[in-house]
Amino acid sequence: MKAYLYFVLGFLVIAAATIYNDLMPPTYEYYEYYIFRDHLPVGKDKKLTVFGATGNIGHAVVKNALAYGFNVTAYAKNSSKTFRKNSHLHVVYGDYVNIDQMKKAIEGSVAVISCIGPEYSKTATHNVSIAHKNIIKAVEQTNVTRFITISTPAYKYKEDKMNFYINLYDLYATKLYPEAYKEHIRMAKDTEESSLNWTVVRYMKPTDDPAYGRILINHGENKTNPFVSREDISSFILSNINENLFAHDMPIIGR
Q: What is the CATH number of the domain that holds 102?
A: 3.40.50.720
- As a whole number, the mean pLDDT across the chain is 85
Q: Higher model confidence: residue 80 or residue 248? A: 248
Residues, the chain = 255
pLDDT tens for 34-65 read: 777 677 777 788 999 999 999 999 999 999 99
pLDDT tens for 172-222 read: 777 778 888 889 999 999 999 999 999 999 998 899 999 988 888 888 777
pLDDT at residue 121, rounded to an integer = 65
pLDDT at residue 119, rounded to an integer = 81
| pTM given for the model | 0.85
Residue 251: what residue type?
A: P
Domain that holds residue 199: 2-254
Q: How many domains does the chain have?
A: 1
Question: From residue 250, how far is each of 25, 68, 94 by CA, in Å?
Answer: 23, 24, 28
Q: Higher model confidence: residue 125 or residue 146? A: 146
pLDDT class of 247 with cuts at 50, 70, 90:
very high
Count of CA atoms in the C-beta half-sphere (13 A) of 140? 13
Residue 217, helix vs strand vs coil: strand
How far is residue 12's CA from residue 172's CA, in Å, rounded to a whole number?
Answer: 10
Cβ-based burial of 107 (10 A; exposed 0-12, middle 13-18, buried ≥19) = middle
Question: From residue 130, how far is each of 92, 117, 245 by CA, in Å?
Answer: 19, 11, 28
Residue 3, helix vs strand vs coil: helix
pLDDT tens for 179-188 read: 888 899 999 9
pLDDT at residue 232, rounded to an integer = 94
- What are the helix and strand counts (H, E) for the chain? 7, 11
